Structure 1
């Protein structure tokens, strides 16, 4: 049976993010329709409100969107807060348990399937909307997308070398975008033409597939001591000026102590880093968090803006738009990133800076869009921005030796999930407030929010510029890469 197994975790990310984005589309539309109907009943108004810029109908639309935005925030909080806690507690155990990487993929798949069952029960028996929290909390306690992100990216770092890691993580990001795009598109189309059950059953099937794939087909990555990559003595000889003699990166036995559970925090103060100055790692985590703050906060705002005046899109058109946007992300994370790294041999920081400039142009443009045809042009403007996420994650993975990849991504994914939650805390209320105030001089209801998002990327651009011109970053990283050259070659042969 072991000979039939593969070391390709990409399908897990593909199907998991298909279900995640399809569910996000369903929940957003469900909340919007639910509260829209409630306000229609209260005002005794059955007319089509979208497209009217004044009057009682327009007030109904704005109130419904505002309440739906707040409920969406509560739902996301019930998922993200438990998932961050769980990931920080057990995430670094994936470095120590025998089947740690695979286990961290199985647990969220079970949680996602349970969440879908809860939603199916709510729809079938027409239960009050508050029952949705039973599913979301269970999903959060399983680690959710935070734990899957940790497991898949750590697994990929285990089986890739430093030279190929940026491209390999770019492919992972493209696979994630493919799944998300398919989920957004299928979720919108199925919801409009077939109904809620088709979306929920498709998501349930995706989670079950992830569970079966990991359990029966995915092999464990090579253990550190078996790969010939690094052990205590080798690392001490190669990094004697970086490593504290009291540090023991691996544990005897199962290693699942509460001390090891906070391994993500330990790497922030230990000497086990490839890069000598710790402030570079802090800066990378901050930049990655700011990127996620906007990238995870913008789809919800865009979805609400698409449903309302002046665009008045149907869920199927929204699905097509997000599907195309994720297709562009695939092109950016694979083809554009390959061109930058292989043909132009750009440094990681240069690639990130170019991607950030694309993000800034994209959100400034969004602030002035008021028609359907011009909205689709934003996809071309933001194409190079897809290189930011995989390149930042590659840079982070190169900061820590392989036996601490799980601890690093435990911390990184928790930071990203926390910022995803902060995105809703910041941008959803901001959108609701601007929408309720109906500020007339703004081109559209999301203009101010989109400009704030562009400003966040300006701050991120400044941080990466500091890192780009840092001699300590460049020297330490180059020194480490050269010293590990022979071991990387041996690792590739062993894999």
Structure 2
């Protein structure tokens, strides 16, 4: 049977199945906490975005109490799942340089299936809500979305020879995420209203099972490893793994190493601000004065995912005529302006419109991945994307934990503070971008060109016999 060399279908199905339930997770937790804390049923409204006018002060107090509890629940979930996911991401994606990329995709798909089935069980049998934290911890032992994306980007790096092709195809992965997650998000609200929580969770689990079967039986391995049946001791395998990670930071000249470290730092800081700030959007929409219904939340989530499509178009067009650094700068400015906008959004119209200034906010991610990939040789792509996925996962989890805590503290006096904080933090990576040009100016004085992906192969790079 002929195997395929495309990871885009995997990303597409994963995005659809994940974003089918992603808007539901916070809503489910929010409703369960509302019932537990207020001893009353959750108020279900029509498509209106306004809170019920009755019992104004009492309802406001209830909203604030549930908002704090929901944000702290999110904080605990991230803290329990962060460390296992980080360790698995670093080890598995780096190990793919020796044993192929498919394992980096298969493991997180299994973890995602376990997580979704756990949500289905808690919802169907009305089990203790805090079992979801245990489920999150167990699923993190298989890695997470960053593990899978690290494997997918390593796969693409294996398949692409041209730098521009690599940039566009990596941006295409982000676009696929946006397109399919948008389709899923816009239908989620109607699905929830028509069938409750159980059927969306079950449907998502079915899609994830199909995705897993496609990866196992139809996806070809992109990295053919010599001597795959050779016996390798665990000690030698771990030594090779650590050597590969070390090599990407010390294998080149001082200028190349400095540029790589700078790019990873900028990437991590931007991820922290982006993921941390945007993670509170759903809770903000559930809070007063918006009080969005599940229908409006679905529309909002779908509209947000169009940012991936517009960012892909931006990368495809702007990368033809502008330097990579300028494309990244435009994307960062787009995110910060959108976050400032949402911080002052108090009406449904403004909450929909804040996506307009953010339409290019995803551009920095594929462009910077491509820039880092060009620095490193093909034999070390897995180690590179292991480190990138590790830092992205670390930044995302810390961002979610920090901003959940900040939101719980500030929701009573100014819910929009978290978005202003995230916008302010974008200034740091923006300022650091100027240093990239300094390294590029040094390029002509170095014998090894930067962003070329070429380096001398040392004896330590030889395959394990």
Contact between 1:47 and 1:57, CA under 8 Å: does it hold in 2?
Answer: no
Q: Report if the CA contact (8 A) 2:248-2:376 is conserved.
A: no
Whether the 8 Å contact between 2:268 and 2:392 is mirrored in structure 1 is yes
* Cα-to-partner distance string for 1:318-374 (whole Å, 9 max, x where unaligned): 1111111212321222x11111123x2x11111101111111211111222111112
Equivalent position of 1:451 in the other structure: 420
C-alpha distance in 2 between matches for 1:393 and 1:482 = 14
Q: How far 1:29 sits from its partner (Å)?
A: 0.7
- Equivalent residue, structure 2, for 1:417: 393
- RMSD over aligned CA atoms reads 2.8
Residue 46 to residue 178, structure 1, CA distance change in 2 (3 Å): closer
Give the whole-Å Cα distance in 2 for the aligned partners of 1:385 and 1:417: 18
Q: 1:466 corresponds to which residue?
A: 435
Measure the CA separation in 2 of the matches of 1:83 and 1:179: 24
TM-score (norm 2): 0.88
Partner residue, 1:217: 218
Cα 1:433–1:112 change in 2 (3 A) is same
Distance 1:349 1:61, change over 3 A: same
Query: What residue is the counterpart of 2:323 in the other structure?
Result: 347
Give the distance between the partners of 2:44 and 2:6, measured in 1 at CA.
Answer: 52
Is the aligned partner of 1:309 residue 2:311?
no
CA distance in 1, matches of 2:174, 2:152: 11
SS in 1 for 2:35: helix
Offset at 1:172?
Answer: 1.0
Q: Does residue 1:64 correspond to 2:74, yes or no?
A: no
- Runs (5+) with no aligned partner, structure 2: 455-465
Specify which of 226, 251, 256 is matched with residue 271 of structure 1. 251
Give how far 1:450 is off. Answer: 1.0
State the distance in 1 between where 2:233 and 2:194 align: 51
Distance in 1, Cα, partners of 2:124 & 2:139? 20
Shift of 1:482: 7.0
Could you say if the C-alpha distance between residues 210 and 260 of structure 1 is closer, same or farther in structure 2, counting changes exceeding 3 Å? farther
Q: Is the 8 A contact 1:92 1:263 kept in 2?
A: no
Could you tell me whether the CA contact under 8 Å between 1:88 and 1:411 is conserved in 2?
A: yes
Deviates more, 1:368-377 or 1:250-259: 250-259
How many residues are treated as equivalent by the alignment?
446
Provide the residue aligned with 1:7 in structure 2: 5
Deviation larger for 358-367 or 408-417? 358-367
Task: Describe the superposition over 1:290-311 as per-residue Cα deviations: whole angstroms up to 9, x where unpaired.
Answer: 1211222233311111111111
Distance 1:252 1:396, change over 3 A: farther
Pair 1:134 & 2:103 matched: no
**Structure-2 separation of matches of 1:483 and 1:117:** 42
Distance 1:397 1:269, change over 3 A: closer
Aligned to 1:55: 57
* Residues 483 and 171 of structure 1: CA distance in aligned 2, closer, same or farther (over 3 Å): closer
Q: CA, structure 1 residues 481+329, in 2 after alignment: closer, same or farther (shift >3 Å)? A: closer
Counterpart of 2:314 in structure 1 is: 336
Q: How does 1:84-163 map to 2 (within 5 A)?
A: 84-97=86-99, 100-161=100-161, 162-163=163-164
| Residue 292 of structure 2 corresponds to residue 292 of structure 1 | no
- Stretches of structure 1 lacking an aligned partner (at least 5 in a row): 227-249, 440-444, 485-495
In the superposition, relative to structure 1, how do residues 80 and 206 fare at CA in structure 2: closer, same or farther (>3 Å)?
A: farther
Residue matched to 2:207: 206
Q: Which moved more, 1:468-477 or 1:45-54?
A: 45-54
1:488 paired residue number: none
Is the 2:306–2:359 Cα contact (8 Å) retained in structure 1? no
2:129 and 2:285 map into 1 onto residues whose CA distance is 24
Partner Cα separation in structure 1 for residue 178 and residue 39 of structure 2: 39
Question: Cα distance 1:251–1:218, how it changes in 2: closer, same or farther (>3 A)?
Answer: closer
Q: Deviations over 1:1-27 (max 9, x none)?
A: 1xx211110111112222333333222
Kindly indicate whether the alpha-carbon contact (under 8 Å) linking 1:19 and 1:207 is maintained by their aligned counterparts in 2.
yes
Q: Distance in 2 between matches of 1:45 and 1:17?
A: 29
Distance 2:302 2:104 in 1: 28
Among 443, 449, 453, the residue aligned to 1:479: 449
The secondary structure found in structure 2 opposite 1:219 is: coil
Judge which range, 152-161 or 377-386, deviates more: 377-386
